[in-house]
Amino acid sequence: MRAVVLSVYQTGRDRSPGRGRETLVSPYSPMETFGTATKDGISSTLGFRFRFGISSFGLQVLEPIEPFRLSENKAFRIDALAERLGGSLVGDGSALVSGIQSLADAGPADLSFYADPRYRRELSSTKAGALVTRERLADLPIPQIVHPDPFLALAALVDLFHPRPGHSPGIDERAFVAPSARIAPEVTVYPFVCIGEGAEVGARTVLHPGVFVGAGASVGEDSLLWPNVVIREGCRIGSRVVIHAGAVLGADGFGFARRDGKFVKIRHVGIVVVEDDVEIGANAAIDRGTLGRTLIRRGVKIDNLVHIAHNVEVGEDSAMAAQVGISGSTVIGKRVLMGGQVGLVDHLTVGDEAVLIAQAGVIGDVAGGATLSGYPARPHREVLKTVAKLRGLDRLKERLRRLEEEVRELREISGGLAALPGKSPEP
């Protein structure tokens, strides 16, 4: 498979003596990846520019290139991979694989995985050189690694074939670090990071460009904050926490009083506390407590675009998919699972190991272990029965129409009998 790369560039006039040519002025132009950093030095098939004064902006479609790989993969014997994963080998283990791909994209030198029967069609046409699967597939004539949990095996394989990129510890000169901030050894601080007065950053943590760590805030050891993450003042982030780009922790909650029909802001002076081993998705928002704290306990996984309001508590090892919204002061138990767009009103309690199916609208407390769906959220089995009944409404409507016609015909017959001399309808 080949890809087309779009490149946006900005040019300006080189005002050096004796020169009037256009040169690239954007220091982060992606052109530098594929050739010399000059507009005319790159082979292109299409281009256009808009000119504004002495600058112009353009778009080029570069020559097709091979798909981007995160790393140069090494080759591994399949039997060695089976041993490493703790799986059972089926077939020839001496073959080599140098990458891991989906069933549809895998080639003869790739390892793929199969764990979901919905991908049976892709399985029948895959060109993968080997497969990780939950059980032996007798009709597939390629080496197989049988593993009780292919997704767990996939996690290990991704780390093996695509090792995490290393970082060069140090503080870039373009970052701002307040004099009273405490930065532990081996921290990596990229350009344009801002670390406020009294803030703390633990050992081996990486802060990507644009990260803001407010005054008195702290980030633990071995954490990873991607570009433009905001940790507001006083908030505390644990160790081995991953926060993806654009997430904001510690913004004011949505709290207002009313006076003469107008809103009066209630300042939020609490904090956000995130315990160890938490992952927070891109553009998620976790508001600080009005008073006290908003608490995300150990091991919680939060998807992109999730909103957690002030003074919420989320229990250990719970997970929530994109666009979940949790209103203020709600308490979520341990190992709770929430599908996308689940919404919860304020001051609720959700018990341990409950499951809230996508788009459930929760307006009351949820017992531990319960599975709810729909709006308003009800036990999932009850919702399924209701849906089944709704699907039968058309048939019920047709039966009712026929009964009404029969009743009308009987009334007409009854009325005709009543009109005959000496005849009267039976009661």
DSSP 330: -
Residue 339 CA to residue 356 CA, distance in Å, equals 6
Q: How many Å is the Cα radius of gyration of the chain?
A: 31
Residue 52 CA to residue 32 CA, distance in Å, equals 24
Checking phi first, is residue 343 left (phi over 0); if not, alpha (psi -120 to 50) or beta?
beta
Residue 184 CA to residue 316 CA, distance in Å, equals 28
Counted residue by residue, the chain has a size of 427
CA distances from 34 to 23, 41, 51 (A): 17, 10, 24
Residue 280 CA to residue 333 CA, distance in Å, equals 18
CA distances from 98 to 3, 142, 158, 374 (A): 21, 16, 12, 45
Residue 212 CA to residue 283 CA, distance in Å, equals 14
Backbone angles phi, psi at 311, to 5 degrees: 65, 20
Strands 6-13 and 44-52 come out as unpaired
Catalytic (active site) residue 310: yes
Q: Which residue has the tokens 């767009």?
A: 341
Question: CB-side exposure of 413: number of CA atoms within 13 Å?
Answer: 7
Residue 273 CA to residue 178 CA, distance in Å, equals 22
Question: Is the peptide bond preceding residue 376 cis, with omega within 30 degrees of 0?
Answer: yes
Of the candidates 147, 310, 347, 380, the residue annotated as catalytic is 310
Chain-centroid distance of CA 247 in Å reads 12
Query: Which residues are part of the catalytic machinery?
Result: 310
